[in-house]
């Protein structure tokens, strides 16, 4: 059997119309109805609304959790299962759900609260840098207060996060092919969201985690674990910690993974993995049409 990892994208991968074709599947319809009773709003309505509303953190994160978890559940119903799991930022919640660390509704309650807190954590900015000098970037970040490497996505793409002034300083001093400010409400994955992270920690600590049925690679510590307490502590650090996706990609190869399936809209993660470990087989399941029969 080909050793397979399932990976789940996070905020930024959302797309208008995502999940709508799942409404033809009875189990998916039930999950959408359940989600509406937990959230107080309809995921399918939001996914069909304008891009600006869908891209608001408050709606984006729960919508991605619901759509991606439904796709993963259908895959499991059809006899597939992963040997290893990982998710990018918000995607880690779907990875933990699929690993059996918490129940689906518990995960959605967590994501709902996380989205509310992150949506209200205004201030600062994030920016993506492509094809840059890594040594120069690390040196400039080390010399510039109030900015961090938020997402180390691949050898050629990172995201920095911090105060507006600090992020702009790094953008102006580091040579890169492209530097793009991101449309987000706050400086996520940085100490600037520490107040929201502290509030969310209380919520996380009240939830009982179970040992994982498949190892999970966490964003802040990209080594496989099935230990419930380890996975919880890593998740507690996630909101202010860096997303170490480049290292996760390398860890997939180190753990003998031959095939990676990205479950969710877009193909951001398969693109990043391809740049880091080009020899792995990459597949995407973005919608109902791409599910195996």
Which residues are marked as active site? Answer: 89, 189
Rounded CA separation 254/269 (Å): 18
Q: What is d(CA 70, CA 242) in angstroms, rounded to the nearest whole number?
A: 27
Whether residue 85 contacts residue 95, with contact meaning beta carbons closer than 8 Å, is answered with yes
CB distance 10 to 89 below 8 Å: yes
Helices in the chain by DSSP H: which ranges? 26-39, 43-47, 51-54, 57-77, 91-98, 104-120, 134-143, 164-173, 194-205, 228-238, 245-254, 268-276
Please calculate the CA angle 249-252-256 and round it to the nearest 5 degrees: 150
Residues 193, 118 contacting (CB under 8 angstroms): yes
**Pairwise CA distance, residues 21 & 164, whole Å:** 40
């Amino acid at each position: 059997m080909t050793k397979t990892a399932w990976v789940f994208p996070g905020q930024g991968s959302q797309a208008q119309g995502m999940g709508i074709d799942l409404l033809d599947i009875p189990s998916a319809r039930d999950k959408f109805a359940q989600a509406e009773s937990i959230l107080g709003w309809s995921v399918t309505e939001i996914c069909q609304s304008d891009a600006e509303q869908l891209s608001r953190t408050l709606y984006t994160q729960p919508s991605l959790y619901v759509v991606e978890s439904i796709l993963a559940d259908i895959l499991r119903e059809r006899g597939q299962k992963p040997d290893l799991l990982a998710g990018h930022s918000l995607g880690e919640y779907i990875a933990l759900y699929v690993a059996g660390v918490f129940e689906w509704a518990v995960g959605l309650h967590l994501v709902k609260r996380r989205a509310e807190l992150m949506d209200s954590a205004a201030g600062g900015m994030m920016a993506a840098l492509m094809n840059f000098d890594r040594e120069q970037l690390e040196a400039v970040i080390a010399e510039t207060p109030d900015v961090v490497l938020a997402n180390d996505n691949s050898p050629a793409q990172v995201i920095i996060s911090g105060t507006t002034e600090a992020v702009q300083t790094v953008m102006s001093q580091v040579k890169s092919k492209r530097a793009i400010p991101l449309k987000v409400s706050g400086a996520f994955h940085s100490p600037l969201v520490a107040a929201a992270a502290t509030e969310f920690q209380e919520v996380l600590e009240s939830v009982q985690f179970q040992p994982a049925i498949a190892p999970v690679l966490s964003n802040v510590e990209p080594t496989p674990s099935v230990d419930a307490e380890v996975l919880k502590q890593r998740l507690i650090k996630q909101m202010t910690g860096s997303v170490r996706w480049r290292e996760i990609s390398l860890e997939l190869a180190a753990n003998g993974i031959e095939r990676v399936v990205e479950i969710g809209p877009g193909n951001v993660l398969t693109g990043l993995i391809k740049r880091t470990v080009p020899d792995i087989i990459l597949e995407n399941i973005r919608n109902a049409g791409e599910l195996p029969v």
